[in-house]
Amino acid sequence: MAQATYDGPLIDDRAQDLVESPARRALRRLLKRKGAVFGLAVIGAFILLAILAPLVAPYDPNAQSWTAVRKPPSGLHWFGTDDLGRDALARIISARGPRSSPA
C-alpha cells in the first residue's frame, strides 16, 4: 500500500475562522450569566469608588466636629455622624485598607 503525501493545510481556512479561542469562549459563557455580569459590575463599582474616594467623599473622613456628634442621617450627613462627629459616609467610602491601595 502506497503512502500518500499531502502538502496542504490540515484545517481548511474557513474552518479555522470557526475555531474559538479559549478567552473568547470564556467571555461568551460569562456574558450569558446575568448574575455574573451583575456581580462583576458591582465589584467594578466598588473598585472605582475606592480609587476615587478622595474625590467622591463629601467630607474629610477624619475631621471631627463637636457640634455634629451622633447626628442622625440628614441632608448634610447622609449616613449620620459617629461619636466624634465624623461623617459616616466619608468614613465608609475611604475605609479601604492597604490591600486595595496601589503598591
Q: Look at residue 37 in the predicted model and tell me its pLDDT.
A: 96
Highest mean pLDDT among 2-6, 7-11, 60-64: 60-64
pLDDT in tens, 57-70: 889 988 999 999 99
Cell numbers at residue 95, please? 475605609
Closest CA to 87 of 97, 72, 100: 72
| Alpha-carbon span 95 to 41, nearest angstrom | 20
Decide: 88 and 79 in contact? Cβ < 8 Å. Answer: yes
Cα 61 to Cα 56: distance, rounded to the nearest angstrom: 11
- Closest-CA residue to 47 (of 1, 103, 96): 96
